[in-house]
């Protein structure tokens, strides 16, 4: 079968139009999940999908399913998609590129008058980022059975607003059930969010799996006291203990290469200039592509906490989210690799360092991913950047991999 390319300019124009919703002064995007801006982005995408001939459904957790008919609608769809929500200081491409690449596949199939045997379905998964509501990847996680619908609907943000209420407020608490989703195959296209493709001068990453993650909430409890009247040797400073814990997280990650460890969220209480901090709440993120190593990192973290507690603080550790390393489907991986070769793109196999909805979709469907470079490997940042050519490459590989699995009606 002839290898096709997508319409580069149309894809880029769509990305730039969507980027206007929640645009930040530094050139990024802030479209937090289930906010009014998220609603605007969802509505614009649905308008485009319907104009491209897709039927649209929304399920009870707010996932959007847009379907291009296939010759045999009794067959499972070949799916793609990602998310439209962003980090508070996010970029223009994380997540949204995967959604609009899927839309561009549909538009390009229409341009070429290509009919597939299987339906084509694009998914917008709710709250992939996990920024406003934790944990991440809620929409795909509910569909996969990793989370119950009820527990996710009852999640609250830092202001105490309930996810289910916010879903209703923006009009995306859909009537479709979250159970019973199925795909013949599923592909997610995404900027790499790392430096490997750029460093190796490769145009496409063939994603063979994803590394495991363990997320923790930690609460360090010391003793508030006056900053001027409490001598140093009699203090029980929760911030000092939390600083020691931050350094331990870095030390643990470096001891288990290529593992990663991050503290990305911290609240200091009472957060007063002349009061010794009494309570610190912070996040801990551990990642590794080998589950045994990730388990060892978990054990090292608990040992480090026991050591720090000897100073007099108490540390409460909540291991509230875990998923094991993922190995993607060999046929789907092969379809991505074949598409890169047919199109003449340089490529390399790669492991996804970040969490992606495709990782949860792999629980119930054959799955793989397509990575494209991003400038200096930077993501979750307003300066996140890629090029029209790189987006064209990823979306074109996506289209041809999907056609391999969906089948073309001659």
pLDDT tens profile 126-175: 999 999 998 899 999 999 999 999 999 999 999 999 999 999 999 999 99
d(CA 386, CA 390): 7
Contact in structure between 27 and 383 (CB atoms under 8 Å): yes
Confidence (pLDDT) at 323: 82
Own/partner pairs, 39-46, CB within 8 angstroms, 24+ separation: 39/170, 39/171, 39/172, 41/84, 41/96, 42/84, 42/124, 42/170, 42/172, 44/17, 44/18, 45/18, 45/84, 45/99, 45/100, 45/103, 45/124
Residue among 398, 406, 391, 408 at smallest CA distance from 340: 398
Confidence (pLDDT) at 183: 98
Q: Is 212 exposed, middle or buried (0-12, 13-18, 19+ CB in 10 A)?
A: buried
Contact in structure between 78 and 118 (CB atoms under 8 Å): yes
Task: Please count the CA atoms within 13 angstroms of the CA of 36 that sit on its side-chain side.
Answer: 0
Confidence (pLDDT) at 1: 64
Contact in structure between 62 and 172 (CB atoms under 8 Å): yes
CA distance between the termini of the chain: 10
* Domain at 212-323: CATH code: 3.30.70.360
Q: Over the stretch 208-245, which tens digit does the pLDDT of each residue have?
A: 999 999 999 999 999 999 999 999 999 999 999 999 99
**How much helix, strand and coil, in percent to the nearest 5, is found in the chain?**
35, 25, 40
Residue ranges of the chain with per-residue pLDDT less than 50: none
Contact in structure between 117 and 75 (CB atoms under 8 Å): yes
> Token pair for residue 135?
């944990």
d(CA 262, CA 251): 11
d(CA 107, CA 4): 12
Q: Is 166 exposed, middle or buried (0-12, 13-18, 19+ CB in 10 A)?
A: buried
Q: Over the stretch 68-94, which tens digit does the pLDDT of each residue have?
A: 999 999 999 999 999 999 999 999 999
Question: Does residue 102 come out as left (phi exceeding 0), alpha (psi in the -120 to 50 range) or beta?
Answer: alpha
pTM comes to 0.84
Contact in structure between 24 and 92 (CB atoms under 8 Å): no
**Does the 8-211+325-406 domain belong in CATH 3.40.630.10?**
yes
Beta bridge mates, 209 = 327, 351
Q: Is 345 exposed, middle or buried (0-12, 13-18, 19+ CB in 10 A)?
A: middle
Beta-carbon contacts of residue 90 (< 8 Å; ≥ 6 apart): 28, 29, 30, 31, 129, 380, 381, 382, 384
Question: 3-state DSSP call for residue 223?
Answer: coil
The residue whose two tokens read 């003793």 is 223
Residues of the chain with CATH 3.40.630.10: 8-211+325-406
Residues of the chain with CATH 3.30.70.360: 212-323
Looking only at the bridges linking them, the beta strands covering 64-68 and 279-288 are unpaired
Element (H, E) at 32: none
d(CA 208, CA 358): 11
Confidence (pLDDT) at 2: 77
Residue 91: CB atoms within 10 A of its CB come to 29
Confidence (pLDDT) at 3: 85
**DSSP track, 62-126:** --EEEEE--S-TTSPPEEEEE-----TTB-SSTTHHHHHHHHHHHHHHHHTT--BSS-EEEEE-T
Confidence (pLDDT) at 321: 86
């Amino acid at each position: 079968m002839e290898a096709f390319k997508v319409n580069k300019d149309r894809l880029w124009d769509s990305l730039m139009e969507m980027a206007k919703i929640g645009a930040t002064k530094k050139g990024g995007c802030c479209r937090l999940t289930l906010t009014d801006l998220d609603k605007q982005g969802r509505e614009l995408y649905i308008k485009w999908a319907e104009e491209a001939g897709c039927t649209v459904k929304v399920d009870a957790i707010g996932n959007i399913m847009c379907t291009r008919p296939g010759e045999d609608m009794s067959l499972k769809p070949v799916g793609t998609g990602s998310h439209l929500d962003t980090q508070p200081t996010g970029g223009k491409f994380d997540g949204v590129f995967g959604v609009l690449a899927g839309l561009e596949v549909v538009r390009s199939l229409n341009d070429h008058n290509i009919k597939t045997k299987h339906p084509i379905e694009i998914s917008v998964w709710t709250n992939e980022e996990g920024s406003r509501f934790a944990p991440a990847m809620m929409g795909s996680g509910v569909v996969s059975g990793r989370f119950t619908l009820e527990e996710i609907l009852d999640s609250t943000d830092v202001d105490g607003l309930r996810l289910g209420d916010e879903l209703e407020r923006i009009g995306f608490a859909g009537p479709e059930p979250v159970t019973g989703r199925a795909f013949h195959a599923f592909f997610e296209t995404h900027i790499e969010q790392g430096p490997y493709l750029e460093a190796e001068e490769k145009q496409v990453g063939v994603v063979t799996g994803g590394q495991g993650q363990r997320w923790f909430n930690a609460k360090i409890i010391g003793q508030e006291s006056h900053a001027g009247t409490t001598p140093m040797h009699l203090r029980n400073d929760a911030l000092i203990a939390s600083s020691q814990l931050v350094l331990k997280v870095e030390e643990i990650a470096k001891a288990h290469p290529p593992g990663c460890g991050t503290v990305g969220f911290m609240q200091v209480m009472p957060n007063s200039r002349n009061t010794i901090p009494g309570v610190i709440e912070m996040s801990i993120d551990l990642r590794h592509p080998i589950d045994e190593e990730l388990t060892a990192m978990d054990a090292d973290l608990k040992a480090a906490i026991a050591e720090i507690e000897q100073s007099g603080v108490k540390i409460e550790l909540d291991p509230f989210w875990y998923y094991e390393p993922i190995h993607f489907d060999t046929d789907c991986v092969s379809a991505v690799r074949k598409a890169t070769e047919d199109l003449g793109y340089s490529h390399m196999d790669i492991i996804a360092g970040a969490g992606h909805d495709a990782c949860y979709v792999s629980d119930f469907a054959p799955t793989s991913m397509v990575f494209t470079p991003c400038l200096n490997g930077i993501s979750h940042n307003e300066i996140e950047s890629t090029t029209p050519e790189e987006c064209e490459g990823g979306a074109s590989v996506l289209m041809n991999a999907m056609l391999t699995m969906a089948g073309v009606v001659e």
